[in-house]
């Protein structure tokens, strides 16, 4: 809803500039130049800053799509950035993609040999126990950092 109000205000202001400067002051070229500048400012402010803020904090509108051939697993917010996890069955990878403000800094994390759907296909597959979850993960990149979240 806030997104629609933002754009209604932006378009209303642009129309008001065209009417006041272009029609009343009889300077249509200046009015169109100012209107174009305002539209550029409103668009860049929305795209590079406000879109995700509106969605997260005030119930704005935003849409993204899952890449073809992948399955959506989950979505989460980290500060004002949206992280989406998808699964690619062709490569057996889970892909975390970041949607940052303006898509300038896009993070991407890929987990190889990820099969989140294994329990759906093989009910006899070993399941992790609570003891497994309480031990720190051992990997080359761990470097002694405790990865448990208590």
Cα–Cα distance measured from residue 76 to residue 82, given in angstroms and rounded to the nearest whole number: 6
120 domain-assigned? yes
pTM for this prediction: 0.55
Domains of the chain: total: 2
User: Tens digits of per-residue pLDDT, 67-98?
Assistant: 888 888 888 888 878 888 998 888 888 988 88
3-state secondary structure at position 41: helix
Residue reference for tokens 């980290």: 78
Q: Which uninterrupted H or E stretch holds 58?
A: helix 51-58
Domain that holds residue 39: 2-58
Q: CB count, 10 Å around CB of 3?
A: 17
Residues 93 and 115 in one domain: yes
Cα–Cα distance measured from residue 86 to residue 67, given in angstroms and rounded to the nearest whole number: 8
Cα–Cα distance measured from residue 66 to residue 71, given in angstroms and rounded to the nearest whole number: 7
Say yes or no to pLDDT of 148 above 70: no
3-state secondary structure at position 103: helix
Residues 7 and 34 in one domain: yes
pLDDT band at 99 (very low <50, low <70, confident <90, very high): confident
Q: CB count, 10 Å around CB of 77?
A: 11
Residue 103 confidence (pLDDT): 63
98 domain-assigned? yes
Residue 104 confidence (pLDDT): 62
User: Tens digits of per-residue pLDDT, 8-53?
Assistant: 999 999 999 899 888 888 888 888 999 999 999 999 998 888 877 8
83 domain-assigned? yes
Q: Which uninterrupted H or E stretch holds 7?
A: helix 2-17
């Amino acid at each position: 809803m806030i997104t629609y109000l933002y754009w209604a205000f932006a378009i209303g202001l642009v129309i008001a500039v065209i009417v006041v400067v272009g029609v009343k002051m009889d300077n249509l070229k200046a009015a169109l130049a100012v209107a174009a500048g305002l539209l550029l400012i409103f668009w860049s402010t929305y795209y590079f800053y406000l879109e995700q803020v509106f969605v997260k904090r005030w119930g704005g509108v935003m849409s993204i799509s899952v890449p073809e051939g992948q399955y959506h697993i989950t979505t989460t917010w980290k500060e004002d950035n949206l992280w989406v996890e998808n699964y690619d069955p062709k490569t057996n990878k889970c892909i975390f993609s970041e949607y940052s403000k303006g898509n300038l800094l896009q993070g991407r994390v890929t987990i190889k040999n990820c099969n989140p759907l294994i329990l759906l296909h093989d009910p006899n597959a070993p399941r992790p126990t609570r003891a497994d979850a309480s031990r720190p993960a051992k990997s080359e990149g761990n470097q002694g950092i405790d990865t448990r979240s208590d």
